[in-house]
């Protein structure tokens, strides 16, 4: 009988290819039908291995959730970028490959990101999700996130609504 371990660790430069692959799979699953096809392809293609390697080398907070030797997903987080919102930290991205969704991996990865932010003095947290992404909005609500703001983002000629979920420190 073989046993696979689940661990969360900081991304390393040599993880760049696996990160790019996880990003590609997760974004296609999350945004197909929401973000116009050509725009989605453009967004995915600009995040190849070189982009991820550079992000890791520059010190971006990127954590991976590993299932055995495979990257199951990642979270990218740091200081809140929306200065109009009174939250110290922000989870910029949290994505899992489709086969790892619904298994508790996202909850573990989100909890890890929040603990890391808190240990760095960024206890309150905000995260943005497209309003029509029912999976993401349901996930953040289930984690206790409270909708605190709305905005929009333009993808090509399409304007999509997004919502901010927040957690107090």
pLDDT tens readout for residues 45-104: 999 999 999 999 999 999 999 999 999 999 999 999 998 999 999 999 999 999 999 999
pTM: 0.94
d(CA 56, CA 106): 21
87 vs 122: CA distance, rounded Å: 8
Confidence (pLDDT) at 2: 59
Q: Which residues fall within 8 angstroms of residue 111, CB to CB, at 6 or more apart?
A: none
Q: Which domains occur in the chain, in start order?
A: 6-167 (3.40.630.30)
Please write the tens of the pLDDT for every residue from 109-151.
Answer: 999 999 999 999 999 999 999 999 999 999 999 999 999 999 9
């Amino acid at each position: 009988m073989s046993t696979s371990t689940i661990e969360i660790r900081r991304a390393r430069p040599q993880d760049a290819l696996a990160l790019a692959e996880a990003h590609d799979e997760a974004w296609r699953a999350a945004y197909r039908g929401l973000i116009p096809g050509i725009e989605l392809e453009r967004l995915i293609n600009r995040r190849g291995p070189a982009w991820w390697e550079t992000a890791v080398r520059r010190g971006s907070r990127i954590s991976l959730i590993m299932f055995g030797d495979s990257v199951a997903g990642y979270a990218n987080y740091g200081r809140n970028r929306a200065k109009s919102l009174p939250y110290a930290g922000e989870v910029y991205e949290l994505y899992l490959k489709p086969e790892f969704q619904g298994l508790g991996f996202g909850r573990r990865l989100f909890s890890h990101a929040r603990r890391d932010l808190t240990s760095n003095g960024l206890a309150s947290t905000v995260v943005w999700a497209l309003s029509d992404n029912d999976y993401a909005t349901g996930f953040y609500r289930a984690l206790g996130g409270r909708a605190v703001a709305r905005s929009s983002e333009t993808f090509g000629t399409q304007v999509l609504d997004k919502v901010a979920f927040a957690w107090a420190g």
